[in-house]
Structure 1
Amino acid sequence: MTAQVRADDITAWVERLTAAAERGEPLDLAEGLAADSAARNPADGDKWGPDRQIPAAALRTVLIDRNLAVDPHGVRINGARIIGPVDLENVKFEHPLHLTACRIEDHIDLTGSTLKELNLNSSHIKSLGLDQATITGGLFANDGFTATGEVRALGAKIGGQLSLNGATLTNSDGYALSLDGATITGSLFAADGFTATGQVRAIGANIGGQLSLRGAALTNPDGNALYLDQATITGGIFADDGFTAAGEVRAISATIGGQLSLNGATLTNPDGDALALDQATITSGLFADGFTATGQVRALSATIGNQLSLNGATLTNPDGNALTLDQATITGSLLAEDGFTATGEFSALGAKIGGQLSLNGATLTNPDGYALSLDGATITGSLFADDGFTATGQVRAPAATISVLSLNGATLTNPNGYALYLESSDITTLRLTPAHVDGTTDLTRATITDLRTSPKIPPLGRLIATGWQITDVHGLIRTDRLAATQWLKSTPPGHGFTAQPWHALAAVYDRNGQPADARRLRFTAANETTAHAPWSTKPLRWIYLAVAGHGYYPLWAAVWLAGALLLGVFITDHNTEHFVPTDRAAADKTAAAHAAETHTPAPQPITAADSCSRYPAYPCFNTFNYTLAGVLPAATGVTKADWAISSTAPAVLTLGLPALRTLAWIFTVVLLAGVTGLLRKG
């Protein structure tokens, strides 16, 4: 309960404060108490008697007194209980204000105020407002400083440092510390046991020195623990040596002039992002060795000027991405060795890594998705995933550009899908000698200058390699064609068969002076093509097989040619009523003459379905000869065109016979090419 303040008390305290300010002496109300006395503890300030209770109104009166000749030491109060709201809004006090080891039970309002220095070391306060305030020196709230409400300094200007070492800020339903838009010329220290319950935020703030959070503990599990979006921190961020955060740590679009150090830190936000650094610029590297994160660690489109080190780190986000570096630029290396583990996807889509990406001995686990995603990434150095590297889930780098990709001794496990997916990637050297592969290796359209495999066994896992380009190979498949055949035949069911990978490897054999191996590999590919063709190409392959036996049976074309002729005869014979004389007048004349002689009516009009006896002087329609001339391009004894298809004939005649003629041409060409040896076998 706030003590009652009498006017006489205010006057008396004004006199005491004025005298102390003029002499430059502190007003120490705990003087004479033992250093370990409970009476010195502001936590028990509600028990302090009237002799230590300063009315807030008295403090205001002194600070706004323009006639007061204040000593350069300013106003210094220690061990007091300040009663009532501390209304110092827009106060201009060009001297230090020290309220140390005090108990301040109401809000301190310094909005728009100007001070030379503010010292709140060891004090216990309710809340503090410094919006748009100017402190030409530093702000100190160390050594057990405690706030049970928001400490707020939006747009404030602090000419020195802001020090919160060992402070405790508690505002679980809102912001513990708000520094949005603030300018701190020096450093911000919130280390050495600093704790905050509620959000710590400095959106768009400008910190001229470093931000130190070493050993700090931030707690805001349902939101942001640390919010530094668009902030500029010239001297780097140090959140290591046991730093913990429950809730999201974010610095999206922030500019960090030095390094970001998270060595040994623990970030926990299981339902969201543990660390968000999207579009951030970190000049001197990100170091997170031994780092632990529960929730996603993300740095989309971030720029890291030196290396990113995650050696020994543990990242856990089983329902999403454990680490997201999509479109990030890392000018140095990305190191994730020495027991690094990621549960959830490790994603660096389109990232640019100027040095190496080292995953030696790392463990990546995402059994229902991608363990490692490097789609479109550019790695100027090498990608080392050796020495016990383990991935459960797909390892993928489609369309990536990598100097050396080494998987010596690695274990890749994704039994129901791709264990290694390198479609359209450009790799100078691919060292594919893993200890174990359970899944498919996809090298579709990959460009590999040098493929190095085991010298003793064929490459492990199933292979898809449509469109790959290989300059050279080493290992068993270089000298053992059967080993190469075994690997090429391992394409999993449902992916079809293409001869291109066989021919690409055969070309390597040709270049290496192994023409016999090259010919046998191509021959085997030809025999495998039909059996393993995808459904989209099977109809054409079936036609090729039926017509010419895939080039090995060209006389089958003669059978199809005869079939086309017989089908044409059948169609013609069953549609004679749709054939009419080409010389209608001549046909009508002979029909009329025959009708006059026999006293029978003449057919009108005349069709090939009518008996030839009714127009004896006009050439009779011959089904076989007409079909032979109309369908078979190489037919002899071409019949004069005495008959034609009527304009009302059905499509089976107007389209069917020309289609058969086209097919007959094709069959004839295939037959002639096969007979003369021009048709390529295989």
Structure 2
Amino acid sequence: MVDMHGLEEALRTGDWLEPQGQDDNLDAKLIRSTLLKFQGSGDPRGLRIKDMHIRGKLDLAGMQLPHNLEMVSCHFDTEIELSGASLKGLNLSGSHLMGLRLFAIRAEGSILLIEAVSQGPVMASQSRIQGQLCLDLLVINSDIECVVLDGAKIAHGLTLNGAKIDGEVRAVGAEVNGIISMDDAVIENFDGDALCLDRARILGSVRGYNVTMTGALRAVSMDITGSLELDGAVITNRDCSIVLRQSKIGQDLDLTGVSLFGPLLLDAIQLGSALIFETSVVDSPAGISLSLARAELGGGLSVSSSAFKGQIFASSLEVGAGISLRNVMVRSQDPLAMILDSATVREGFLSRDCVLLGGIQAIGASFARRVELKDLKISSQFSLVFDDCDFGGDFTIRNATLTGEVRALNARVRGQLRVLESSVEAPDGDAVSFNTAVLTDLAVFQDLELTGTLQLTSSRSENGLILNDIKVTTASPVAIALQDATTSTLRLGQLILGQAGLDLGGARISHLKVEDASTLVLPRIADAQGLSIASWSGFVAGDRKAARAWLDTISSLSGRSGQQFQGQPWREFARLYRDAGRPEDARWLQFCAALRITASSPVRSKLIRIPYGLLVGFGYYPLLVIPWLVIAWLVVFGVVSSNQASFTPTASNASTMSVVVDGRVDNVYVTGATNVPKGYPKLRPSIIALETALPAISAGQTNAWRVTGSSWLPLVLAAVRAFGWLLTALLLAGLTGILRKE
């Protein structure tokens, strides 16, 4: 066994004290005694011991050691006690320990435990280390707490590279100036925290490349001036894999290649730069996989080639740059896979090739620049919910396959809105809904296949709306709803709506353009009451029969046959023809509308409307009176011509006349069929017919002749005369404009 003399010599010269022959034993009490004796003296290199077996407990608590203490590759029977001690530096690399107590130690240099093995914890709470604390390749086997650095201050970093620690590493409230490095470390604390950095302050970065933790990485209210990098880390804890709530990280949080088995909780975190996931896996199938509620990211959120099992919850998230999702899969048991309610994104939101089992909800969120969701697949009751959102740039959905409603009620899109080349299935309701939305720029819905309705009720499209190549399958009578919508231009292309229709009720359209195409099939109109159009173009504007056929679909739509005919849309289309300088087309269209009003009227109304239509075309064609007058004239002419003997002169002195018959003079009664006295007007059926059909005209015939030989003929003439007065009144009213149609 080495005696005190050997120890003193080693301390005086600074040489290594190593075993001599087979004797490698060294009494721990001798070490203490020697150090007490040589306090303030000895070689600057300090006491250096190598490959020795230290017998007994080495208790150096409270000692003031002005030099280094190095015990390399040594074996200790019990834990080392250095609590409250002051020394220049400590090196226990390669040694086998039963534990190390460094409470409130003061070290001017570094503390090294490289490749050391300990059967007990390393306790260094409230320690002050002016150098580095190096635990690289350290192996610790303990029950719960393996490394405790609560309240410690370390001036030049903490390293645990390659360490294997069976228990918790804890540094609550610690302050580390420099990097904390855990590359390739393995830390296991089942059902607890593997690493706890609550309230720690790191004036540098934390790095854990390929670290493996069984137990949580917990760092609530931690403050890091640099970055937190966990590339390739594997962390398993079913309650939470990483907890960084209310922490501050000055630069990136890099989670490239991580595999996290348990929720990642980043609530109220403050990042100076970006949050990065690349080829990462977060597995928390029973609930939330990633929580970013109230988090503040100075940079962006970048997720690529990653998978999340569990919901991404990011309510009230603030992102200083943009959100980028590329080749991401999210599987959630909740109907929503991602929640961004009230989020603020100061740049854009870009999604490419993502698959979500659950929808995206961003109620009340704000996106300063473009939002583009491309090649997106979602299966949920609600695939996209952007109610009350403010989009500062373009909002594009392209080549998406969505099972569940797309909804953006009361949203405001300051750039272009484009929903293109996508399919949406919501068979029990609305497939796409932008009700009450304000669309500042052009809105385009094109090349869509929808199961469920397209809703744009009460929306406002300030720079135009395009609906083209849309196929809608729905049990509702309305396939596309533009009720009470306002748009500067509505361009309608190919719309295949089945038995459903287009609801234009109350819509206000500055310009309607129906695309010119020989194969275009106009959609049915479900409702157009209150429709207002300032101008129009396209083949409907140029073809009045096409306009009539389109308007006819309103009343012929399935399920609407018993409803009152909508005349206002017909009048609106007629006005458009008049404004375009085509009054004849306008009149014809209104006449067609009047025919349909008559057909749908009650029987009592029909008794008035049918004659009104037959006689003057409901006021639109007053010259129809002329054929009726001709008919009346022909009737009277025929009756009078065949019954001339029933007419006698009205003058008494002309009622008889003398004639010579067989040389004898006789008095005979005068009729229209006989000769008349000289100077008396002869009966002329054509004039009688004219005066009867047009009672306002008097040629003297009706004053000169009367019916005396027939009981029914006066009734016929009276009826025709009354009919003539009616026709004359209608003709004059129509020609003078007194007869109005509206």
TM-score normalised by L of structure 1: 0.70
2-side partners of 1:25 and 1:434: how far apart? 81
Match of 2:247 among 160, 182, 188: 182
Does residue 526 (structure 1) correspond to residue 594 (structure 2)? The answer is yes
Does residue 322 (structure 1) correspond to residue 383 (structure 2)? The answer is yes
Match of 2:180 among 118, 125, 133: 118
CA contact 1:327–1:351 (8 Å) conserved in 2: yes
Q: 1:365 to 1:106 in 2, by over 3 A?
A: same
Aligned residue runs from structure 1 range 380-459, under 5 A: 380-386=440-446, 388-402=447-461, 403-414=463-474, 416-434=476-494, 436-438=496-498, 439-455=500-516, 456=518, 457=520, 459=522
- Provide the secondary structure at the position in 2 that maps to 1:122: coil
**Which residue pairs with 2:49 in the alignment?**
none
The answer for unaligned runs of 5 or more in structure 1 is: 31-50, 534-540, 555-672
Q: 1:140 to 1:18 in 2, by over 3 A?
A: farther
Does residue 128 (structure 1) correspond to residue 192 (structure 2)? The answer is no
CA deviations 1:145-179 (Å, max 9, x no partner) are: 1222222111111222111111111112x111111
2-side partners of 1:367 and 1:78: how far apart? 60
Q: CA deviation at 1:56?
A: 4.7
Query: Could you tell me which amino acid in structure 1 is paired with residue 514 of structure 2?
Result: T
Match of 1:281 among 336, 344, 357: 344
Aligned residues with identical type, % of pairs: 25
Aligned residue runs from structure 1 range 629-668, under 5 A: none
Q: CA deviation at 1:507?
A: 0.4
Does residue 205 (structure 1) correspond to residue 269 (structure 2)? The answer is yes
1-side partners of 2:388 and 2:131: how far apart? 54
**Which residue pairs with 2:134 in the alignment?**
75
CA contact 2:598–2:609 (8 Å) conserved in 1: no
- Provide the secondary structure at the position in 2 that maps to 1:523: helix
Q: CA deviation at 1:92?
A: 3.4
1-side partners of 2:82 and 2:135: how far apart? 12
**Which residue pairs with 2:280 in the alignment?**
216
**Which residue pairs with 1:152 in the alignment?**
218
Query: Could you tell me which amino acid in structure 1 is paired with residue 183 of structure 2?
Result: N
2-side partners of 1:92 and 1:168: how far apart? 28
Larger radius of gyration: 2
Query: Could you tell me which amino acid in structure 2 is paired with residue 508 of structure 1?
Result: L
Does residue 167 (structure 1) correspond to residue 233 (structure 2)? The answer is yes
Q: 1:681 to 1:160 in 2, by over 3 A?
A: closer
**Which residue pairs with 1:254 in the alignment?**
317
CA RMSD of aligned residues (A): 3.2
Match of 1:100 among 161, 180, 185: 161
Does residue 303 (structure 1) correspond to residue 371 (structure 2)? The answer is no
1-side partners of 2:383 and 2:371: how far apart? 15
Q: How many residue pairs were aligned?
A: 520
2-side partners of 1:275 and 1:550: how far apart? 67
CA contact 1:279–1:301 (8 Å) conserved in 2: yes
Aligned residue runs from structure 1 range 574-593, under 5 A: none
* Structure with greater proportional helix content: 1
- Provide the secondary structure at the position in 2 that maps to 1:478: helix
Q: CA deviation at 1:552?
A: 6.3
CA deviations 1:347-380 (Å, max 9, x no partner) are: 1111111111222322222222211101111222
Q: 1:333 to 1:548 in 2, by over 3 A?
A: closer
CA deviations 1:39-69 (Å, max 9, x no partner) are: xxxxxxxxxxxx9532454x224x6455xxx
Q: 1:532 to 1:397 in 2, by over 3 A?
A: farther
Q: 1:6 to 1:544 in 2, by over 3 A?
A: farther
Q: Which runs of 4+ in 1 moved over 4 A?
A: 5-19, 21-26, 63-66, 530-533, 541-554, 673-682
CA contact 2:57–2:79 (8 Å) conserved in 1: no
CA contact 1:370–1:393 (8 Å) conserved in 2: yes
Does residue 514 (structure 1) correspond to residue 582 (structure 2)? The answer is yes
The answer for unaligned runs of 5 or more in structure 2 is: 1-54, 59-74, 97-114, 616-728
Q: CA deviation at 1:433?
A: 1.3
2-side partners of 1:277 and 1:115: how far apart? 35
1-side partners of 2:451 and 2:95: how far apart? 66
Q: CA deviation at 1:501?
A: 0.6
- Provide the secondary structure at the position in 1 that maps to 2:421: coil
CA contact 1:301–1:326 (8 Å) conserved in 2: yes
Query: Could you tell me which amino acid in structure 2 is paired with residue 138 of structure 1?
Result: S
**Relative contact order higher in (CA < 8 Å, ≥ 6 apart):** 1
Q: 1:16 to 1:110 in 2, by over 3 A?
A: closer
CA contact 2:495–2:521 (8 Å) conserved in 1: no
- Provide the secondary structure at the position in 2 that maps to 1:516: helix
Q: CA deviation at 1:276?
A: 0.8
Q: CA deviation at 1:14?
A: 4.6
Q: 1:187 to 1:272 in 2, by over 3 A?
A: same
Q: CA deviation at 1:428?
A: 1.5
Q: 1:6 to 1:142 in 2, by over 3 A?
A: farther
2-side partners of 1:248 and 1:265: how far apart? 13
Aligned residue runs from structure 1 range 606-617, under 5 A: none
Q: CA deviation at 1:110?
A: 2.0
* Structure with greater proportional strand content: 2
Query: Could you tell me which amino acid in structure 2 is paired with residue 524 of structure 1?
Result: C
Match of 1:331 among 357, 371, 392: 392
Q: CA deviation at 1:22?
A: 5.3
